[in-house]
Structures are given as structure tokens and as C-alpha cells.
Chain A
Amino acid sequence: MILKDFLMMRHEILLTVVAMLILMMEIGWKKEERCSIKIISTILFFIITVVGFLPIETGVLFGGMYHTTDLIITCKNILNIGVLIIFIQSSQWLKMEANSDKTSEYFLLIISTLIGMNFMISSGDFLMFYIGLELATIPAAALAALELTKNKSGEAGIKLILSSALSSGILLYGLSMIYGTTGSIYFSDVMAAMSQSSLQVLAFIFFFAGMAFKISLVPFHLWTADVYEGAPINVTSFLSVISKGAAVFILTILLFTVFQPIVHLWHNVIFAISILTMTVGNLFAIRQTNIKRFLAFSSIAQAGFILLGIMGDNTFGFATIIYFVLIYIFSNLGAFGVAAAISNITGKENIQDYNGLYQTNPRLSLTMMLSLFSLAGIPPVAGFFGKFFLFTAAFQHGYYLLVFIAVVNTIISLYYYLLIVKAMFINKSDQPIQHFNNDFMTRLGLIICVIGMIVIGFASPILEYLNKLSF
């Protein structure tokens, strides 16, 4: 293997290099110099994101274990954009007394999970897939427990690691059955040997259960609310957007390639789980009072919507999924960004505390409103376009009832999103949250989200480009 081929792994190599740099800065520099680690890491990551968009060769490495195509590179770039926004938004949280000495750990852990996700998406066989999956999961648990002084954070970390371990184990059991029945772990070989033997169906069920955990589908969603509530808010936004997005990407790739021969089987599974997830997520979100739990259940419902894209044609369905995840990144990070700004400065996380927010912090309220409307799927923000195309994808194969239920769920979700809008704009409060100014980085993060939400829907070249990508 020559160096030129090795450079196909540009994303992973750059991430590893930056991770090493951060580690060396942490170890080598004195305490006073370490305060610049935050800004240096963010700038380095920005460079990685930009470099990621430069054209790159595609091909196969390590004898088939690693393969990249334009589609996979697009997925990785989208995840990079998301993590960049999260880094920008984290700057306020990292400035706080209790957190400033954990800066380099924070960056290292997130970059580690991102490396894992990149390998997972580029995998060509189940071993690389599993390595990537584990690398993406374990640092996330450490991230969830990062606020060492709070009980809830530790609880979140333990819940996340234990449930991840269990679901990984089940997934591995399924993979072992696939190996047992097909004699290979390479995707191409498995695809050729896939038939409908009962052991393979069982393997698929276990595999799907493990992945469904990662995406927080019902009934594997029970960890979501507690972990999201306990973890620091920027870690929550990371889990809800990036972790979920990466798992969705690889699940879709595997369903459309490896498990394609049993498509009529998993179409029914996805049908049922999609309906369950949307409905349960929406119904539980209505009663939430904590903004983080609220956004957790809303993320569960959104994951149900994403499954609709899987019911469409291969190219178009995947294009709509990627498009939706991109829009979902901007919308969700917008909502979490506002919640994080309020939580970091005032410590308030209850929806009741948001009453009358428009009077004191109009721009924050407007950003939150735009994000919520985007999540609900109301024009003219991008969320409308994302949801509409997902429905179109599901309609392609005649799943009228599914689309109908999905649209009804959109209405239900609109109800609880409007509850927050009501709190901010309509409800009056004796003690609304005081007006506060955000620092430059927070504002930048929120502005990026707002611009993304407004522009992406109308910019048709994005969807056109995604449609042209193929497996």
C-alpha cells in the first residue's frame, strides 16, 4: 500500500493528528498557556472541516475493510460541520470555573468519538464497523459524566455506558450469527450470501436492536431522556445530533447494501418502529417540563421521521435522509444553543423559566422560535423541506398510511413546540430571565444555525448534489 492510497483516509488522519496535538499541548504546556487550547482546537477543527470538502480520491483500503465513496465523504463532512458548531457553542460552557480545566479532555473525547464514527461509516466489513462503533460509544459515556460534581452527570454516564455495553453485546451476537451463516464478515460477501434463513433473520433482529439503541428508536429509547438530562448541555447536543446522525448513516448504508436481499422483511420492521417511535416520542414530549428532557423526546420523535426516508428508493431515500440530518443538525443545535446559553448563564433549565423571555432577550427568543419551527417542519425554515422530502421518499413505494401517520405526528409535535413559543412570547412572568449578553462565540454559533436553517431549504443545489451520489 503506497502513501497515496493511505491518504484516502484523510479525514481520520487529520482528526488523529489534531487529537495528538491537543494531547501534547495539554501535557507540555504550563497552566497559564493552556487557556488558549480551546481557541486553537476550534480553529484546527475548522481547518479540518474546510479541508474535508476538498476533492479526494475514493477507493478501497486494507483489503476491503475500509472504503470511501463520495457519498461517505459527504456524510463525514456533514458530521464535521455539526461538531464544529458544537465546539463553537461549547466555548461559553468551557469558560466556567468548574469546567475550564477539562477543556482538552472535552475536545479529545469528542474528536475520539468522531474518529470512531468516521471509521464506522467507512467500514467495509463488520470488524471495522464494530471497532468504529465502540470507539464512537465509549468516549461518549465519559463525556456524559464530565461534570464531576453533579450527581446527575455521573448517573448519565453510568446509564449510557451500561446500556451501550449491553446493546453492543447484542449487536455483536447478531454479527457472530451472520459470520456463522455466511462465512465472512466482508459486506460484499455477506450481501451475496444473504438469504432468508431463520438464523440470518435473527441476526438481523439483533443487529437492528443494537443500532436502534444508538438512534434512540422505540423501544430502545429508555436511556435517552435520563442521559440527555444529566449530561452537560453541550454533550447532550452532541449526542442528539452527531451520535444519532452517524448511526443513521451507517444503518442506512447497511440496510441498502448488506441487507438488501431481505428488504421485504425489514421494510415491515421499519414501518412498525417508525410509527412507534414518532408516536411515543411525541406523546411523552408533551408532558415534559425540563428543556433537556423535552428536547430528548423531541429527538426521539425526529429519529422516527428519519426512518421514513429508508422506506424510499435507494438513491432518493438516502439523499433525503442526509438532507434531513443536515437540516436537523442546524435546527437542533439552534435549539440547544439557546438552551445552553440560558443554562450556562442562569442555570435555569425549566420551561416555566422561559416565560416572558421575549421581553428581555428578544434575539434569543427569535432564534429558539426559528429552531422550533424548523424542528416542527413549518415553512419557510429548512425543516419544512427536510420533512417534505422524507414524506416524498416514503410515498414513492406507496406507504400512504405511514406518511399520513407521520404528518399527524408532525401536528402533535407542533403542539409541544408551540408550548415553548407560548412561554417565550405569550406568557407573562413576574421574574423573567434577565437580559444578558452572550459572548462572541455563542453568538457566532447561533448565527450559523440561523443562517443554515434559513438558507438550506431554498438552496436546491444541495439536494441535487445529494441525489447524484450513489453507493
Chain B
Amino acid sequence: MMNFNLNLFVLIPFLTIIAIMMCRNNKQVRLTAAFGMSIQLIMAAILVFTYLHVRNLGDTAEMLFTQDYAWFSMPNIHYAIGVDGISVAMIALTSIVVFAGIFASWEVEFLSKEFFISLILLSTGVFGFFISLDLFTMFLFYELAVIPMYLLIGIWGSGPKEYSAMKLTLMLMGGSAFLLVGLLGIYFTTATASGNFSFNIIELSKGHMPVEMQRIFFPLTFLGFGVLGALFPFHTWSPDGHASAPTAVSMLHAGVLMKLGGYGCFRVAMFLMPQAAQELSWIFLILTTISVVYGAFGAIMQKDLKYINAYSSVSHCGLVLFAILMINKTAMDGAIIQMISHGIMTALFFALIGMIYGRTHTRLINEMGGLMKVMPFLSVCYVIAGLASLGLPGFSGFVAEMTIFVGSFQNPDTFHRVMTIIACSSIVITAVYILRVVGILLLGPIKNPHFDHLGDAKWYERVSTITLISAITAIGIAPLWLSDMIGISLRPVFEKLLAHL
């Protein structure tokens, strides 16, 4: 019976931070960070294979590789960790994005030690969140991820960075305010099998929470995670936040942190409060549909590359929440695939934008043109990213969106079908803004003669982009291994939700 110590995912980043603190110059800092996160990536790969192997051997426990240590007795808090297929997928996503992010930040010179420490601290919070099975531990890691954001955007960002950093931090903390009340509500009102109150997700899912209480706390919890997942109208932190943040931070944020919101909505809000989820899903469906369409329309109007991508992220993350709320197995399958697919795609986009900005020193698309002639490698990568984003078959975006819309349309009633049709229209709008940007930015004559001599991608930039593109293509061409892994883990959640139909 193979076992995998999940604590490694929190321990390795922590050790990397200690190692960075002892480095003496920027080169050492970068190499240490790269080394640490490479180990993390290898660990994630080993986890995926171990997980699949154990599942193939026939272990059907809900969560694998669990560890549980009692921490406080009153309130009943444990340090409980464990993974299932969805968490494994998210951990893999995070390690890929962090790895690519480190290489995308190779040129940070100002206070580079502090930069990499904050970045890795951020990723520690995210990894801890995905391995936690106890609501308190989950919340602790969730909040841990928010504060380094403020420093990262405020110190190393660009544009209105102080304003964006403050707005982002306060809005995300506002979300966690709702979340805290929701979590305490779940703790105190769920009657578990053992008789004590508990924060453990698995124990809570087997317990019983009275419906009146669910109706109060489901909106709070969903909103709490939804703020992070760019739920309309609480998405306003996202455009400014992403645009002002340095490259790696945008990658990590749009790629991974926004998925924290989707994962939380799914694992906590809907899993633990299924009846309220069924009753109140229509309200949030309307909001998420608006997110999807509004985000896409918003992207069309933007002139700054990063803002375009930020609104695009709002739209795609809205799609994740949209699919989860459909309470349909296929759609939820698609939601998880979309989380991973969009995570990698948006990380790729932000990395490329950062590289282009580093050379042209402008992010306005009107000032750039014909970059395909100047930097062919980067431009090709950008085209690939764009096509993946609008859902071209062969890349992961198609798999995800196809699954989501097929699943959502399976709901027979009018309301759900109308929402699905409206959300589908976002595919077209996405195509508009993606192709428009590709056309203006990359094709055509070179706009600015000064750009003629700009260099193409360096080795570390190639590592970054190639990693991400391989991931997208792998999922796009052979999604079976991923959807299998997710499908098995989705079953208990889905059964619980269906049981109350």
C-alpha cells in the first residue's frame, strides 16, 4: 500500500524560503527558487502517478494519503490533510504554474530575495489549501495566500499599483469575512455522526445540517469563495489587480488563486450544503452567466493587453462557477477541467504579455504591431495561447468548454437552457477579442520601427512557455487520464447533491 506524505507540499516551499533567506546575491536567489520549485513539480508528478496507481489497485476510499492530527479540542480543530482526484489535479496545476512563474520572473532585480520569498509564500498558502481536509486549516492557508499579494503587487507592480493592491486585498479579505461567518455556521449547526462539532469536511459531509441554517450560510460561503472566483459583481478587484501585478503574480493569481474560489465553492459550499445549493443555485447562476458574458464584452473594449487578459479570466472563471452550479455530472467534470485548462492558459498568456512588455515597454495594443516578424517564438506561442483560449479542438480549452456546455444543456428546464445558450455566446465574443488582438499585435507591418531589433525569447522564457504549452496540448489531445481521475472523485459529491433532488 503506497503512501505519499502530503506535508511535503507545504514543507518544500517552506524550506525553499529558508534557503533563499540565506542566499547572498540575486543569482543564488533565482537558482534556489528554481531548484525548490522544480522539486515541487517533480513531487506533484510523483503524486499524480502514485494516486493513479493506488486507485488502479482498487482503493476506493474517498480521500487518499490522509493524515489527521488533533490540534485544538475546543473548538474541534484538526490538522487534517488528504487528496482526491480533484485536489491532485489542482496541485499539479499549481506546481506547473509556479514553476513557470519562477522562470518568468528571472529578470526581477529590485529586492529579488523578498520577491521570491513572497511568491513562494503565496504558493505555500495555495498548496496548503488544496491538501486540507479541515475547514479551519483550509481557511488558514487561504488567508495566508492573501497578504503576500499585497506586498507583491504594491512593491513590484506597475501602473496604479498601490490602489490596485489595496483594492484587491480588501475585497479578497471581504470575501473571507463572509467565508468566516459561513464556516462557523457550518461548524455549529451540522450534527455529525460522532456527536461533536467538527471542521472536518468528510465528517461534515456525512452529517446533517438543517435546511434553514443552510439557507443562511450557503449564500455567505458561496459569496465568500465567489469573490475570489470573480463572481459578478464582486469581480472588480480582478482587472486592476491583474493589470498592476508583476508577471509571475498575475500568472499565479489568475491561474491558481481564482481557481481556489471555484474549488472552495465546489468542495465546501455545495458539498456541505446541498439542499440550499439546489434551492438557491438559480440566483448565483444568473450572476455567473453575467460574469461570463460581461467579462467577455469587457475584454473587447480594452486597449491594454493585461486588462484584456484580466477580463478574459473573469469570463472563464465565471464559466467554472456556472458549470458547478448546473449540478450535472458532465458539467461539473467540465468545470474541473476548465479550472485546470484555464489556469495553465492564463498563466501562459500573462507570461507572454510580461515577456512582450519587457521588450517593448508598452502594453497598449495600438502601439505595437507586426511582432511576428520581430519575435517569432513568442508570437507563435501567443497565437497558440489565443487559439486554446477560444476553444480550438486539440487544446484543453475545447475539451473543457465542450464538456461544460453539453452537461449544462442536459438540464431539461427552460431556465437552465436559456442560461446555457447565453453563456455559449461567450465563445463567439472570446473569439472576437482574441483574434482581434492577435491580428493587431502580431500580424501586419511593424508599427514601431524601434521594435525592429528586439530579441526573441531567452532560455528561461522558453522553459516557461514550453512547459505550459505542453500541458495544454496534453490535456487537449488526451484528456482521458485527467477526466477519469476527476470523474471518480466527483461521484461522492454528485451523489450527495442528487440525493436531495
| B75, B151, B169: most-surrounded residue (chain A CB, <10 A) | B75
Partner of B173, one of A404, A414, A422: A414
Complex Cα–Cα for A278 and B470 (A): 52
Residues of B within 8 A of A414 (CB): 169-170, 173
CB neighbours (8 Å) of A297 from chain B are none
Q: Is A407 an interface residue (CB 8 A)?
A: yes
Among B74, B141, B150, point to the contact of A418 (Cβ < 8 A).
B150
Chain A contacts for B161, CB-based, 8 A: 426
Residue of B nearest to A407 (CB): B177
Q: Are A411 and B188 in contact (CB under 8 A)?
A: no
A99 on the interface (CB 8 Å rule)?
no
Q: Does A186 contact B (CB under 8 A)?
A: no
Q: Which residue of B is nearest A313, CB measured?
A: B74
Query: Are B185 and A400 within 8 A (Cβ)?
Result: yes
B74 near A384 (CB under 8 angstroms)?
no
Check if A411 sits within 8 Å of B180, measured CB to CB. no
Assess whether B184 is in contact with A395, with CB atoms less than 8 Å apart: yes
Contacts of B181 in A (CB 8 A): 400, 403-404, 407
B185 nearest in chain A by CB position: A400
State in angstroms the CA–CA spacing of A391 and B180 once bound together: 9
Nearest B residue to A467 by beta-carbon distance?
B74
- For A426, list chain B residues within 8 Å (CB): 154-155, 161-162, 165
Query: What is the interface size of chain B, counting residues whose CB is below 8 A from a CB of the partner?
Result: 33
* In the complex, B304 has a CB within 8 A of chain A: no
A400 → chain B closest CB, angstroms:
7
B459 at the interface (CB under 8 A from A): no
Interface centre among B143, B154, B173 (most CB of A within 10 A): B173
Interface string of A403-431 (1 = CB under 8 A from B): 11001101100110010011001100000
Q: Does B482 lie at the interface of the complex (its beta carbon under 8 Å from any beta carbon of A)?
A: no
Number of interface residues of A (CB under 8 A): 31
Give the residues in chain A near B136, CB-CB below 8 Å.
388
Q: Which residue of A lies closest to B171 (CB)?
A: A411
Expressed in whole angstroms, the Cα–Cα distance for A408 and B174 within the complex equals: 7
B162 touching A422, Cβ below 8 Å: yes
Give A460's nearest chain B residue, CB to CB: B72
Neighbouring A residues of B180 by C-beta, 8 Å = 388, 391, 403, 407
Asked if A392 lies at the interface with its beta carbon under 8 angstroms from chain B, I say yes
Q: A463, B151: Cβ atoms under 8 Å?
A: no
A186 to chain B, nearest CB (A): 32
Cα–Cα distance between A460 and B136 once the two chains are bound (Å): 14
Q: Does A380 contact B (CB under 8 A)?
A: yes
Question: What is the CA–CA distance of A416 and B161 in the complex, to the nearest angstrom?
Answer: 17
Q: Are A379 and B155 in contact (CB under 8 A)?
A: no
Are A380 and B144 neighbours in the complex by a CB distance under 8 Å? Answer: yes
Q: Answer whether residue A378 sits at the interface, using C-beta atoms and an 8 A cutoff.
A: yes
Interface residues of A in 6-50 (CB under 8 A from B): none
Q: Contact string, A439-471, partner B, CB cutoff 8 A, digits 1/0? A: 000000000000000000000100110010000
A284–B166 CA distance with the chains assembled, in angstroms: 19
User: Which B residues touch A410, using CB under 8 A?
Assistant: 173, 177
Q: Which residues of B lie under 8 Å from residue A392 when comparing CB positions? A: 75, 184, 187
B77 nearest CB neighbor, chain A only: A460
Question: How far apart sit A389 and B77, CA to CA, in the bound complex (Å)?
Answer: 11
Closest to A410 in B: B177
Given the known A-B contacts A407-B177, A422-B162, A426-B162, are A464 and B147 also in contact in the complex, defined by CB atoms under 8 Å? no
Q: What does the 1/0 interface line of B63-101 toward A look like (CB < 8 Å)?
A: 000000001111100000000000000000000000000
- A373 proximal to B (CB < 8 A): yes
Contact A411 B75 (CB under 8 A): no
Q: Which residues of A contact B177 (CB under 8 A)?
A: 404, 407-408, 410-411
What are the residues of chain A within 8 A of B75 when measuring CB–CB?
Answer: 389, 392
Q: Report A-chain residues with C-beta under 8 Å of the C-beta of B185.
A: 395, 400
Q: Binary interface profile of B, 121-149, with partner A (CB < 8 Å = 1, else 0)?
A: 00000000000000010001101101100
When chains A and B are docked, how far (Å) is the Cα of A41 from the Cα of B170?
45
A379 and B144 form a contact (CB under 8 A):
yes
Give the most central of A400, A408, A464: most B CB within 10 Å: A400
Contacts of A425 in B (CB 8 A): 151, 154-155
Q: Which residues of B contact A380 (CB under 8 A)?
A: 140, 144
Contact A373 B216 (CB under 8 A): no
Tell me whether A422 and B74 are in contact (CB under 8 A): no
Inside 8 A of A407's CB, which chain B residues have their CB?
177-178, 180-181
Residues 178-205 of chain B, each 1 if its beta carbon lies under 8 Å from chain A, else 0: 1011001101100000000000000000
Cα A435 to Cα B412 with chains together (Å): 70
Interface-central residue, A418, A460, A464, by most chain B CB under 10 Å: A418
The reply on A316 being an interface residue by CB < 8 A is yes
Chain B residue with the shortest CB-CB distance to A463: B72
Name B150's closest neighbour in chain A (CB-CB): A418
CB distance from B223 to the nearest CB of A (A): 12
Contacts of B169 in A (CB 8 A): 414, 418
Cβ of A396 < 8 Å from any Cβ of B? yes
Chain B residues within an 8 Å CB radius of A384: 140, 143
A404 surroundings in chain B (CB, below 8 A)? 177, 181
A324–chain B nearest beta-carbon distance, Å = 14
CB-based nearest A residue for B111: A358
* Residue of A378, A389, A410 ringed by the most chain B CB atoms within 10 A: A378
> A415 with B143: in contact, given A392-B75, A408-B177 (CB under 8 Å)?
no
Closest to B136 in A: A388
Q: Would A400 and B216 count as touching, CB distance under 8 A?
A: yes
Q: Which residues of A contact B144 (CB under 8 A)?
A: 379-380
> Judging by beta carbons under 8 Å apart, are B71 and A378 in contact?
no
Among B140, B154, B173, the residue within 8 A (CB) of A411 is: B173
State whether A403 and B143 are in contact (beta carbons under 8 Å apart), knowing that A426-B155, A460-B72 are contacts in the complex. no
Contact digits for A349-386, partner B, Cβ 8 Å, 1 yes 0 no: 00000000000000000000000010000111000100
Measuring CB to CB, which residues of chain A are less than 8 angstroms from any residue of chain B? 316, 319, 373, 378-380, 384, 388-389, 391-392, 395-396, 400, 403-404, 407-408, 410-411, 414-415, 418, 421-422, 425-426, 460, 463-464, 467
List 5 other contacts, CB 8 Å, given A395-B184, A418-B150, A425-B154.
A378-B143, A379-B144, A407-B180, A410-B177, A460-B72
The 7 closest A-B pairs by CB, nearest first: A407-B177, A426-B154, A395-B184, A460-B72, A379-B140, A411-B173, A379-B143
- CB<8 Å pairs between A and B, sample of 12: A319-B74, A378-B143, A388-B136, A396-B188, A400-B216, A408-B174, A411-B173, A415-B166, A418-B166, A422-B162, A426-B154, A426-B155
